[in-house]
């Protein structure tokens, strides 16, 4: 049977020794079931914070959610006194890691806060004060604790703009913040002791890191060369057994799952539609035909009624352009369209091209609403959408074909520059 770390003695929370100079001083939250609204957890989470002792002072790496501050301070006090603290490192400023920060700064006023350059405005907002001393750091910056050195690696958008990782050189230990973390609470703490947390690790990646795959790959370029004995994330098990496997898994998850049969220079355009009387479907088919007339664009047509949302999200992640066809019913686009559009926050859509079309009976607001949503998701919507009242005429079907052609040309960068007078725009 696994040996449990001694987390409390006589009701007082105790630090857990990870090495002679490094202690876990975080907190357990086993009853949490829903994190930040968007994430579920079947057995809670941990807020991992760490203490590093050097010959010339102590560093605290991250803190905990505010209502777990007592556990954090008791664990800290079990291995250090506040006047020894020279450095406070914040790898990420979300409140679950900075909840105890104001009180820690009050108890250790001599300590200097180290944050990434992009964290400055967030720290000010968090502490609600403009004037205080801190050091902002970039990749390669270091802070010495005497015989221990912390080196910083800026890893933006994993998963906030501010996020960084901190490497304890002498112990080949990476304090990785939310990277390589997961919501999984187990008092045995270490990845080779806790229950099976593979699902939690993958689920966390899929919801937290997946939207930032490009940034994950850039961060891995920085982190992969590091010698690693431990990865100590801000949530979930401490990765002391085969830490590199988790780095490798991040690389796999951030690479394309299956390359499609798209050749170099080819672009992909996906057309999604839903239709109540067949009119939006007729428009979809015409757009499909029009787009297919353009060489080097691979066009696909999908009826939203024919699939669950998740496979479409995967398809969209790898596509260059996406087009939505929706009727307008009761002054709105229809729910299956919104269901898909509200599921796209987990993927990167920037630089993709979007377009919208649809048939309507009265006013046709749905097309404009979906266009606005696409722009909100950071797609380019270069060609105004097509709205057709009820049954499309042959002329209107032709305009749909042209819409498809233009979208395909847009993907290939073949559209002629356009000159518009603002007064002509509706």
Q: Closer to another protein at the Cβ: 44 or 382?
A: 382
- 185-205: b or e for each residue (b if 16 or more CB lie within 10 Å)? bbeebbbebbeebeebbebbb
Q: What are the residues facing 323 on neighbouring strands? A: 271, 355
- List the one residue out of 119, 50, 48 whose CA is nearest residue 79: 50
CA dist 133 → 49, 59, 87, 112, 215 (Å): 22, 16, 12, 7, 29
Q: For residues 315 and 304, is the Cβ–Cβ distance under 8 A?
A: no
State which residue, 145 or 367, has the beta carbon closest to another protein.
367
- As a whole number of angstroms, the distance between CA 393 and CA 399 comes to 10
Shortest distance in whole angstroms from residue 375 CB to another protein: 7
CB distance 351 to 319 below 8 Å: no
| Residue of 326, 320, 384, 392 lying closest to 355 (CA atoms) | 384
Least distance in angstroms from the C-beta of 144 to another protein: 27
We find the least distance from the C-beta atom of residue 418 to another protein, in angstroms, to be 5
Q: Closer to another protein at the Cβ: 244 or 375?
A: 375
Nearer to another protein, 258 or 423 (CB): 423
CB 216 within 8 A of CB 209: yes
Contact 304, 337 (CB under 8 A): yes
| Distances from the Cα of 213 to the Cα of 219, 220, 349, 352, 369, angstroms | 10, 10, 11, 15, 28
CB closer to another protein out of 33 and 378: 378
Residue with smaller CB distance to another protein, 304 or 323? 323
Nearer to another protein, 251 or 380 (CB): 380
Token pair of 318, please? 């790898």
- Nearer residue to another protein within complex by CB, 155 or 230: 155
What CA–CA distance (Å, rounded) separates 169 from 167? Answer: 6
User: Which residue, among 353, 404, 347, has the nearest Cα to 374 in the 3D structure?
Assistant: 353
C-alpha 130: how far from chain center: 28
Report the residue number, 10 or 416, with the smaller CB distance to another protein: 416
Q: How many CB atoms lie within 10 A of CB 391?
A: 11
Measure the CA–CA gap between 380 and 16, rounded to whole angstroms. Answer: 51
**Binding residues for another protein, per CB under 8 A?**
117-118, 120-121, 350-351, 375-376, 378-384, 415-422, 425
CB 325 to another protein: min, Å = 18
């Amino acid at each position: 049977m696994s040996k449990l770390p001694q987390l409390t003695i006589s009701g007082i929370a105790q630090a857990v020794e990870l090495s002679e100079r490094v202690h876990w001083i975080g907190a357990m939250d086993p009853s949490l079931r829903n994190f930040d609204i968007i994430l579920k957890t079947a057995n809670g989470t941990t807020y991992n914070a760490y203490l590093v002792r050097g010959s010339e002072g102590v560093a605290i790496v991250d803190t905990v959610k505010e209502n777990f501050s007592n556990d954090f301070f008791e664990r800290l006090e079990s291995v250090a006194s506040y006047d020894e603290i020279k450095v406070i490192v914040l790898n990420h400023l979300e409140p679950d890691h900075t909840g105890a920060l104001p009180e820690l700064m009050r108890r250790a006023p001599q300590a200097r806060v180290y944050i990434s350059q992009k964290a400055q405005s967030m720290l000010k907002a968090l502490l609600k004060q403009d004037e205080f001393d801190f050091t902002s750091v970039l990749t390669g910056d270091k802070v010495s604790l005497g015989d221990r050195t912390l080196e910083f690696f800026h890893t933006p958008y994993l998963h906030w703009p501010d996020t960084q990782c901190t490497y304890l050189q002498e112990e080949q230990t990476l304090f990785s913040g939310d990277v390589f973390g997961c919501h999984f609470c187990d008092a045995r703490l270490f990845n080779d002791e806790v229950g099976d947390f593979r699902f939690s690790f993958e689920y966390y990646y899929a919801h937290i890191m997946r939207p930032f795959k490009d940034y994950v790959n850039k961060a891995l370029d920085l982190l992969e060369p590091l010698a690693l004995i431990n990865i100590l994330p801000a949530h979930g098990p401490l990765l002391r057994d085969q830490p590199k496997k988790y780095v490798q898994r991040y690389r796999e998850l951030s690479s394309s799952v299956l390359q499609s049969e798209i050749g170099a220079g080819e672009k992909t355009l996906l057309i999604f539609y839903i239709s109540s009387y067949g009119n939006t479907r007729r428009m979809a088919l015409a757009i499909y035909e029009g787009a297919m007339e353009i060489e080097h664009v691979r066009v696909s047509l999908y009826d939203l009624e024919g699939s669950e949302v998740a496979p479409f999200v995967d398809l969209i992640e790898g596509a260059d352009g996406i087009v939505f066809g929706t009727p307008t019913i009761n002054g709105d686009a229809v729910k299956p369209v919104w269901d898909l559009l509200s599921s796209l926050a987990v993927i990167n859509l920037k630089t993709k091209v979007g377009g919208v079309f649809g048939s309507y009976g009265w006013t046709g607001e749905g097309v404009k609403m979906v266009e606005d949503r696409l722009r909100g998701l950071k797609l380019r919507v270069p060609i105004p959408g097509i709205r057709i009242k009820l049954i499309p005429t042959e002329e209107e079907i032709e305009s749909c074909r042209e819409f498809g052609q233009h979208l395909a040309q847009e993907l290939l960068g073949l559209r002629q520059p356009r000159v518009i007078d603002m007064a002509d725009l509706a």
